[in-house]
Structure 1
Amino acid sequence: MDYERRIDEETWRFIRTTGECYPDESEHLPIPEQRRAYEDMARHFRAPYPPQVKRQDFDIADIKLREYTAGSPTRTVLYLHGGGFVLGSLDSHTDICAEICAQTGYRVIAVDYRLAPEHKHPTMLNDAQIALNWVNQTYKEDIVLAGDSAGANLCAALAHQSRPNMSNILGQVLIYAVLGQDTSLPSYQEHAQAPMLTSKDIKTFQNLRCDGVLPENDPSFAPLSDTDFSGLPPTVLITADCDPVRDDSQLYCQKIQTAGGKAHWINEPGLVHGYLRARHSVRRAQESFERITVAIEALGQDIWPY
């Protein structure tokens, strides 16, 4: 794959800077040290909060949540962070959540779900479900699900299992989502050695999530394995073109549309997995982030502009 031509210099600077934040051969470090390196990297790219955003931290059922508000919101975004189900925290994505709050005017609730390998599947999803139920009972507002990478997987799994009793989920916005297990899809082959995320990385994270024994035909693990895609909320999927998991989102979009639902897939040329952190330094990433916040805002208003 000729990434030198497909990826522009702004994005290459982001990729190089990200790499410089990690020690050599960081993938071989013990998990606690990998987490520290990830948090250091996130801190390097962290932007200041927009001045109108206020935050509050609290716990529910031993799960840490962080609330972002700007004014008097009438909608709530439940945000689930990425990090391969192994990395990430409230802090790693805090500026992203703050900017979503500022740009949409909605309340954003970020969830510090428990991580692998200490906590196996479906612990992360169970934590996300507890948070969703709490948001529903506490605010009694319409909800938009949003997340990136592993967090997008959890959002989709929530949407699938919440269909019978959560009619106030207005939509979901899934950013470079990990949704399936089919590594024969073209993007897994074409971008097996992509910058920022490789097919080997995905396998490593999934094995840690399940002790190496991956569930089969389990939509709570891989939403693409569901046999029923009807009744899902309107869904917007945003992918990086240079990313092994790109085609998961294309296939998920097709399955929802075939089942008669609303789904729209946006593929961002020249971008790589994890590009949300590049939104202040890479023009393509900035434009994509604007599309993401517009999608969240539109779904929160029960508008389908696609």
Structure 2
Amino acid sequence: MDYNALIDEETWAFIARTLESYPEDAVELTIEGQRAVYDTMCREFHQGYPDGISATDVSANGVPVRVYSAGQPTRTVVYYHGGGFVVGGLESHDDVCAEICVQTGYRVVAVDYRLCPEFRHPVQFQDSWAATQWAASEFGDPLILAGDSAGGNLAAAVAHYSRGRLDNVLGQVLIYPGLGGDMSKGSYLDHANAPLLTVAEIQFYQTVRFDGEEPVGDATYAPLHDTDFAGLPPSVIVTADCDPLRDDGRDYRDRIQAAGGLAHWINEDGLVHGYLRARTTVTRAQDSFERISIAIEALGQGLWPYD
């Protein structure tokens, strides 16, 4: 794959800046080492809070969450962070959540689910579901589920599980999610060695998620493995074109549409996994972040601007 032809100079500069803190061989470090370099990278990219934001850390049915608000919100976004289920937390996506709050006017609840390998599947899903139930009962607002990478997996898992259990989920917005796609074809082959996320890294993150045999047919582990895609809330999936996970988003859209649901896939040309951190330095990422915020806001208002 000729990435020099696909990726522009701004994005290459973002990639280089990322690698200064988070080296390409990071998965070869100890778990503690991986978390240390990831946290360093996130601090390097932290943008601070926009004006008018307040944030409070509380316990949501035993799960740590950070609640962001500005004004008097009437909708709540539950946000699940990325990091391969191994790294990340309330600090890693702190500014992203604050900006979503300001741009949409909605409350944002960031979920600090327990990480692998100390806690393995289904703990991450259980924490995410517990925090989502708390948000629904605590605020009484309709919910929008959102997340990036591993967090996109969790957002979709919660959306699937919430059918018949929560009646106020208005939509989900998944950002370069890993949903359990077929790793023997498509983008997993075309972008096996893409900048900032390789198939080898995905395989590492996968192996530390479970004990014993890999779960089969478990939508709380891999939403694409579900057998029923009917009744899901309106869904917007945003992917990076230069990312092994790209086709998971397309395939997920196709499954929902085949079941009669509303789903829209946005594939961002020339972008790479993790580009949310590039939203203030890379024009393509800035434009994508605006599309993400618009999607969250629209779903919260019951609008579907994609026909």
**Which band: TM-score by shorter chain?**
over 0.9
SS of match in other structure, 2:232: coil
Q: Deviations over 1:137-193 (max 9, x none)?
A: 111110000000000000101111110121200000000000014102310000000
CA contact (8 A) 1:117 1:211 kept: no
CA contact (8 A) 2:24 2:196 kept: no
Match of 1:99 in 2: 99
Taking structure 1 as reference, are residues 144 and 133 closer, same or farther at Cα in structure 2, changes over 3 Å only? same
Match of 1:136 in 2: 136
Aligned partners of 2:207, 2:75: CA distance in 1, in Å? 36
Match of 1:284 in 2: 284
Match of 1:113 in 2: 113
Aligned partners of 1:68, 1:185: CA distance in 2, in Å? 40
1:62 counterpart letter in structure 2: G
1:28 counterpart letter in structure 2: E
Match of 1:31 in 2: 31
Match of 1:273 in 2: 273
Aligned partners of 1:29, 1:106: CA distance in 2, in Å? 38
Aligned partners of 2:61, 2:132: CA distance in 1, in Å? 12
Match of 2:248 in 1: 248
Bigger shift: residues 75-84 or 55-64: 55-64
Match of 1:204 in 2: 204
Unaligned segments of structure 2, at least 5 residues: none
Match of 1:55 in 2: 55
SS of match in other structure, 2:124: helix
SS of match in other structure, 2:145: strand
1:101 counterpart letter in structure 2: C
Taking structure 1 as reference, are residues 166 and 113 closer, same or farther at Cα in structure 2, changes over 3 Å only? same
SS of match in other structure, 2:265: strand
After superposition, where does 1:100-249 map in structure 2 within 5 Å?
Answer: 100-211=100-211, 213-249=213-249
Q: Deviations over 1:18-56 (max 9, x none)?
A: 001135743221101110110100010110200111101
Aligned partners of 1:138, 1:19: CA distance in 2, in Å? 40
Aligned partners of 2:53, 2:283: CA distance in 1, in Å? 24
Taking structure 1 as reference, are residues 23 and 149 closer, same or farther at Cα in structure 2, changes over 3 Å only? closer
CA contact (8 A) 2:156 2:223 kept: yes
Taking structure 1 as reference, are residues 246 and 23 closer, same or farther at Cα in structure 2, changes over 3 Å only? closer
2:163 counterpart letter in structure 1: R
Taking structure 1 as reference, are residues 212 and 280 closer, same or farther at Cα in structure 2, changes over 3 Å only? farther
Q: Deviations over 1:91-147 (max 9, x none)?
A: 000000000000000000000000000000000000001001101111111000000
TM superposition shift of 1:62: 3.1
SS of match in other structure, 2:171: strand
Aligned partners of 1:182, 1:89: CA distance in 2, in Å? 28
SS of match in other structure, 2:77: strand
CA contact (8 A) 1:78 1:145 kept: yes
Taking structure 1 as reference, are residues 293 and 130 closer, same or farther at Cα in structure 2, changes over 3 Å only? same
1:35 counterpart letter in structure 2: R
Unaligned segments of structure 1, at least 5 residues: none
Aligned partners of 1:174, 1:268: CA distance in 2, in Å? 13
TM-score (norm 1): 0.98
Match of 1:15 in 2: 15
SS of match in other structure, 1:248: helix
TM superposition shift of 1:217: 1.3
Aligned partners of 2:270, 2:212: CA distance in 1, in Å? 32
CA contact (8 A) 1:185 1:247 kept: no
1:265 counterpart letter in structure 2: W
How many residue pairs match? The answer is 306
Quote the sequence identity (%): 57
Taking structure 1 as reference, are residues 54 and 29 closer, same or farther at Cα in structure 2, changes over 3 Å only? same
CA contact (8 A) 1:142 1:300 kept: yes
TM superposition shift of 1:13: 0.4
CA contact (8 A) 1:207 1:213 kept: no
